[in-house]
Amino acid sequence: MESRLEANIEQILKKAEDMARLSRDEALALMRVKKHSREAYAIMQVANRMSRNRFAEKGENHFHIGLNVEPCPMDCLFCSLSRKAGIFREKIEFPMEQVLAWARQAEALGADALNLMTTGTYRFEQLLEVGRVLSREISIPLVANTRDISHREGEALLDAGFVGAYHAVRLGEGRDTPLRREKRINTIGVFKDVGLLWMNCVEPVGPEHSAEEIVDLILLARDNGATYSGIMRRINFPGSPMERFGMISELEMAHLVAVSRLVMGNVPKAHCTHEPHAASLMAGANLFFPEVGSSPRDGQVDTAKGRGAGIEFCRKMQKEMEWDPDLPSNCFNGNETGRKPKK
């Protein structure tokens, strides 16, 4: 029985494990290996080894709190919170008491960060106020997940207690969303300019997306120094206009997670996958997002009562796959505030 890997894949894997930068063509070669082939599992094996060595066996959990529900006029086709989806017909903002209770629960259960998500029209000043309250009451880092922002708004996030911001140039940006790719990329520059850590994921991946589209966003994350990146698949809510495309499997997602990890090299401090599942924990992922509040993948007002995975579930899965969620976070080491020193 043939036991050797294809020569070109073997060379790329050695280069990746040496933390050398892979080219776009090399990344595409990894993307195009056959499912269930020896090469496919070798890619996952190397990615797994890279992450375990690089992240010191740490299992990360960044606790997602969706602050509001509304029929959002941005109307991104993959989002259950969009106006066109017709699932949510009124605006709901979770009261500060509920948000604080969720945050305290996350802290008590060992979350490494809070990821505060809003829809596109949520009042920015309200997000700042939530940040001020949480930064006084809890000790874990705050990450904003909101609309495109200006430099002034980035400084305001820092002053309100945020250390980073989650922001993705989505697959199909400008086609499946009303937003311009260039504007999304400019916001990444804002984060870097003001000193906010940039958190990223290649998302929302579906069967209709080409290897080239996916690789270009992986390279964007690497070349702009994402604190973490990874892969999130699209979840089709009932009635979604994307249902006709289907969804990728968790195994396919694990392959993409592995390719992303090889391409990211020594840049990231964690590597994510969403929604939480075991396969990607053997393919280079170590970061999960437990969820409460609103979610663009759910029809429930509070995703904890729907699709959202709880932090205890995420920690248990990580331990089963021999990642340790009790170790200190790698994402914020040596940069507690994210702010650049003043000149």
User: Closest Cα to residue 98, out of 116, 110, 81, 80?
Assistant: 116
Residue 341 has pLDDT above 80, yes or no: no
Summarize the confidence of residues 45-73 as an average pLDDT.
97
**% of residues, the chain, pLDDT over 70:** 96
Q: Say if residues 10 and 44 touch (Cβ distance below 8 Å).
A: no
Residue 161 has pLDDT above 60, yes or no: yes
Q: Which pLDDT value is given to residue 77?
A: 96
Note the pLDDT tens digit of each residue in 94-150.
999 999 999 999 999 999 999 999 999 999 999 999 999 999 999 999 999 999 999
Q: Which pLDDT value is given to residue 3?
A: 65
φ/ψ region of 164 (left if φ > 0, alpha if ψ in -120 to 50, else beta) reads: beta
Residue 343 has pLDDT above 80, yes or no: no
* C-alpha pair distances (Å), 287 with each of 98, 109, 321: 25, 15, 12
Q: Which pLDDT value is given to residue 239?
A: 92
> 249-259 b/e with 16+ CB inside 10 Å = b?
eeebbbbbbbb
Residue 86 has pLDDT above 60, yes or no: yes
Note the pLDDT tens digit of each residue in 13-29.
999 999 999 999 999 99
Q: What contacts 189, CB < 8 A, 6 or more positions away?
A: none
Gyration radius of the chain over CA positions:
19
Mean of all residue pLDDT scores within the chain: 95
pLDDT bin (cut points 50, 70, 90) of residue 8 is: very high
Residue 32 has pLDDT above 80, yes or no: yes
Q: Which pLDDT value is given to residue 333?
A: 77
Strand partners, 281: none
Residue 337 has pLDDT above 70, yes or no: no
Residue 335 has pLDDT above 60, yes or no: no
Note the pLDDT tens digit of each residue in 181-212.
999 999 999 999 999 999 999 999 999 999 99
* Enclosing H/E stretch for 343: none
Residue 255 has pLDDT above 90, yes or no: yes
Question: How many Å apart are CA 232 and CA 29, to the nearest integer?
Answer: 21
Tell me the HSE value of 174 on the side-chain side, using a 13 A CA sphere: 7
Q: Which pLDDT value is given to residue 336?
A: 41
Structure token digits, residue 37: 């082939």
Q: Say if residues 236 and 247 touch (Cβ distance below 8 Å).
A: yes
Domain 7-320 class in CATH: alpha beta
Question: How many Å apart are CA 18 and CA 261, to the nearest integer?
Answer: 13
Residue 223 has pLDDT above 60, yes or no: yes
Residue 339 has pLDDT above 50, yes or no: no
**% of residues, the chain, pLDDT over 90:** 95
Question: How many Å apart are CA 315 and CA 59, to the nearest integer?
Answer: 8
Q: Which residue did the predictor score with more confidence, 191 or 337?
A: 191
Q: Which residue did the predictor score with more confidence, 318 or 340?
A: 318
- Give one DSSP letter per residue of 226-293, joined into a string: -SEEEEEE----TT-TTGGG----HHHHHHHHHHHHHHHTTS-SEEEEES--SGGGGTT--EE--EEE
Summarize the confidence of residues 171-181 as an average pLDDT.
96
3: exposed, middle or buried (C-beta count within 10 Å: 0-12, 13-18, 19+)? exposed
Summarize the confidence of residues 58-79 as an average pLDDT.
97
Summarize the confidence of residues 290-294 as an average pLDDT.
98
pLDDT bin (cut points 50, 70, 90) of residue 267 is: very high
